[in-house]
Structure 1
Amino acid sequence: MKTKIAIIGGGPSGLLLGQLLSKQGISNVIVERVAGDYVLGRIRAGILEQGFVDLVREAGVATNMDAAGGVHDGFEISVGDRRVRIDLKALTGGKTVMCYGQLEITKDLMDARSASGLETYYESSQVSLHDLKADSPFVLFEQGGEQFRLECDYIAGCDGFHGVSRKTIPLELRTEHERVYPFGWLGLLSDTPPVSHELIYCKTERGFALASMRSETRSRYYLQVPLTDTVEDWSDEAFWDELKKRLPEDIALNLVTGPSIEKSIAPLRSFICEPMQYGNLFLVGDAAHIVPPTGAKGLNLAASDVSTLYKILTRVYKQGDKACIHQYSEIALRRVWNGERFSWWMSNMLHNFGETNAGGLDGDTFMRFMESELNYYLSSEYGRGIIAEQYVGLPYEKLT
């Protein structure tokens, strides 16, 4: 088989890139190691920056998002009994974010790809990437006991943290930065109306909590829990009881509870791989970077990677400018480091680290510094503006 772009990974990053490229007449094939239903079973992000929203519209798959997604003008940060609203629209000159779940985005992109008849190989095994520094790289994979060879011009590694793409870059040529946090997020999804029409980030002595939503009738809530906890340790009743203790008292009174649709614990880590390019292989999204979800940046950083790579590949095929591919890693990493720093910063300020040594400080000293930091930024319009500017997303960088 031959194609211009081989996309490894059929999650939202790979699907969005494939859809955008197809709109420009650039052929692409997606190779995904798991079934499509499994991809749709991943319950992930729900807050989309304007840049992501614009990309979905450019890809021509925004009908459902525009109809069912909710535009959010702000969110709240609760510290004990104090509640501070971050007015995104007012503080950023009119910018907002969209609440629309990753599952829904993925389904919309899958449906669009299927309707267009674009090739996707699900449940592929033994995926390997070859001749990445040659003019004609290729991908080998097996499906149904048969081996396939996919020849291409470029490979987009959109296959996540555990995928083959990053690991194909020689170890001595990549630098990996990582911080693993001493806690996780226990998430619960339920068909109940959200307790608030905007997100509420809660910092309490009992630990962090987040009140979020997927729609007017579906809620998503999170609790900071020790890494030693398991989902089995938390019944629905125990989750709701603890959430009520971490929410502001007047908000907790309005909480509607119900059976969980899904519960899971996600460990938190900050991770960056440099560079994000090796020859004709480009790393996209979680294949190159992981952020703690506190800043709502994971899917959005993946989208900015997609935007940069899409612009580069369009220039390659429309203008014949192959030299521009060397801009990818540098441009992508500038935005990644900004997003990573913001997510790290928000995580440090809002979570309870207990006695854990953090940043070379004992737990109590670190906690006092972070309490002071948070109070400083919440107490002035300038400080709230800094949070808002980063939350709505920094502008996408143009190619040179």
Structure 2
Amino acid sequence: MTSAARFLETTFRIVYDYVSRAYRPLRHWIGALILATFITMIAAVSHIFPVSNWDMFAYTAAVLETDIEDPVELHDLSYEIVKQNVSPGEFLTLTQDRDYRIRQYEDPAAFSTMLGFYRLKLGYVETLRALSGLMDPVKAMRLVSIASAVAIGLLLLVWLAREKALMYGPVVAAMLIIGDFSGSAALLSPDLYASVFLLLAAFLYIERQDIGAALCLLIALTIRPDHLAFIGVFFVFALIYGPGRWVMTATFLIAAVAYQFLLKDESHPGWWIHLWFTHVEYVPTLEGFHPPFSPLLYLQMLVRSTVRSMVGQNWLAALLALVIFYAKVIEPPRMAERSKILLYAVFTSICAKYLVFPHFETRFYFPYLMIMGMILLIAWHQQNRKTSVTSG
């Protein structure tokens, strides 16, 4: 080694040792500050630079339709409200950039057939409706998204603090980035809103607050009914292992009944048509649209969704990384039983949900990836702490 190389090595070690000594007593404060700053930044950016999407029209109409029966009036008012909340260029894009959007803009009857996709998110629509006395539905959507982002940040901070692991704030911030947290916070959809209650349910279950966890799961179901898959898988693992068995059994039964209630509206197009919209094409109207089920086409959807997940999204890579981390680093016998139940249920439900409805976007898997990440991070932290105590 040359003298210059030795000088660089020595300098680096001196600086590193000094920074380490200064960091160690403040590591929890620094970790919490980094995570809180990241959450604040995401909320601020989402507020200053809001993202617009076509779903704003449909959710606005779903909020207003209890007071407006005429489909033409409902259509025109919904588009006018959105127009007031976006720039002229954004409105042009949302109404003119493809045949589907042009048809929805020009044809109130075609637009009304699409609302069944959105009425189903009853918890989200009712929240927007409750806020509509103070602001228009688009502003309410933005408020819900930003508030959900802040709530998730606060919950993660509490979770870390509860486990004396606030020094991992930067790691959790990185997990949020990989999980497309910023995109979900800016997007006007119920996904992040439901994620608040799923994450809270996971935290409460680990804290042995089974009733609170059950209530959060049911609220998440009303916001996005497809979370029934997770509730069902979670109930099975709780039944097998024991902790929370009866509460989660009751939760699943209530959720199954509630799901049927949410589906009672005949305007909902059903599973296959929803898949068709996601993976084949956006048809201009659902009136008289009944494509036959095709196993071959379904397999093509799975393949296409998997390719899109690998090429343009993060969730599949994140899931693989979490599985490898669990296999190589975590010692399952040393994990708390409730954490194991939740971890296994989340992983299984991701696989089950993907087979039933192969979403390719990371935002649909965000809460599940964060639950897995938090469980594994805390398990690793506790594992290292116990090892240090034993060694000492």
**TM category, shorter:** under 0.3
Higher helix share: 2
TM-score, structure 1 normalization:
0.25
Higher strand share: 1
Q: Which has the larger radius of gyration?
A: 2
